[in-house]
Copies of this chain bind each other. A is one copy, B any other.
C-alpha cells in the first residue's frame, strides 16, 4: 500500500498551484493551454487519480445512487435492476445495491439509509416501506423513487405496474376462450413484506369474473408461498377435486410453472384439459410456451431511474406516478374450452 499520489504531488511536479491542478482536473476552461497540457502530462506520468472521498466531501455529494431491492436473483428484480443500470450507465453516478431478504434488513435500511449522507438518491424496488417509516422517507434530504412498491399514503414519485388491470386481462382472456370454471393460485395476501401484487391481480381477476356473472368458488382459490413447489402442491389439490376448474390463473409465472407441473402429474393435458395463464413474462415462460400477462420490468427500472435523475438535477420535488400497462402474451398453454386454440 504505497502512499497515494495526490493533487498536491501533481501541482508540485507541474509547477502550479493545487487550485490550477484542480481546474485542469475538472475541465474548467479558464486554464492556459500550455499549462493545462503540462498538468495533464504530469497526471498521466504519476498515474494520478483523484480521491472520490475528498471530492465528495468538498462537493457535498456522493455521486452515488442507491437501490434497495429484494430477492435479487428473482428474474423480476434482476430485470428491473438492469433497467436502472441501463439508465445510469452514461451518467456519472455509481450504483450501490442493497439486497434485502429479511424484514430486519429492510427495516434497518429504511431507517439508516436515506438519513445518512451516503447517497444522492434512492430507488426502492418492490419493497413497500413500513407505515412508520413513510413520514421519514418523505422528509428525507435525499430524493427517493419507488418502483413497484405500492404505498398508498405517500406522495413520493413512483413507478407502478397496473396489477388490477393485469388480473382483469387474464380473466378476460380466459372468458373469451369460453372458460367459466376458473381457478386462482397465488401468494398469500398477507405477507411480512407487504407485497400487494398477488392481491391486486386477484382483485382485477375476480372483478372481471363477477361482471361476467361468475361467482367465486372457494375450492378454486388457493394461496400459499411464492414458489413453484408450493403452487404445484396447491394445484394438485385443486385439480384433484371432482369439480376441477378448466382454467387456472396464477399470480406469477413461477407459480404457473408449478401449476403446469401439477397438471402433468395428474395426466391432464395443457391446454386441452386445462388452460394456464401466468403473470410477469419471465424468460422461462417463453421456454415453456406459457401464456402470460407481461409486466414491463426493464422499463419500470429505467423509468424509475429517470424520475430520480430528474429530481436530482432539477432539485425540485416532482412527485408523480408512472403507471406501466400490462399486456397479454398468448402462447401455448391456453385454449378455447371446446378444444383447439381459437382467436378470442
Which residues of A are in contact with B by a Cβ distance under 8 Å?
Answer: 1-2, 4, 47, 49-54, 56-57, 62, 64, 72-73, 75, 78-79, 81-82, 85, 89, 94-99, 105, 112, 115-118, 141, 228, 257, 261, 283-284, 287-288, 315
Instruction: Return A255 CB to nearest CB of chain B, in Å.
Output: 12
Q: Which residues of B contact A315 (CB under 8 A)?
A: 1
Instruction: Return A73 CB to nearest CB of chain B, in Å.
Output: 5
Interchain CB contact (< 8 A) of A118 among B52, B78, B283: B52
Copy number in the complex reads 2
Contact B78 A73 (CB under 8 A): yes
Instruction: Return A25 CB to nearest CB of chain B, in Å.
Output: 12
Contact A95 B94 (CB under 8 A): no
* Given A49-B115, A115-B49: A79 and B85 interface contact (C-beta under 8 Å): no
Task: Give the distance in Å from the alpha carbon of A97 to the alpha carbon of B73 in the complex.
Answer: 15
Q: Which residues of B contact A257 (CB under 8 A)?
A: 287
Instruction: Return A115 CB to nearest CB of chain B, in Å.
Output: 4
Contact B49 A112 (CB under 8 A): yes
Q: Which of A73, A95, A261 has the most CB of B within 10 A?
A: A73
Interchain CB contact (< 8 A) of A105 among B82, B89, B141, B288: B89
Task: Give the distance in Å from the alpha carbon of A81 to the alpha carbon of B74 in the complex.
Answer: 12
Q: Which residues of B contact A50 (CB under 8 A)?
A: 116-117
Contacts A/B (CB < 8 Å), 17 sampled: A4-B117, A49-B116, A50-B117, A51-B57, A52-B117, A53-B56, A53-B62, A56-B56, A73-B79, A85-B99, A94-B96, A94-B98, A94-B118, A95-B98, A96-B97, A284-B284, A287-B287
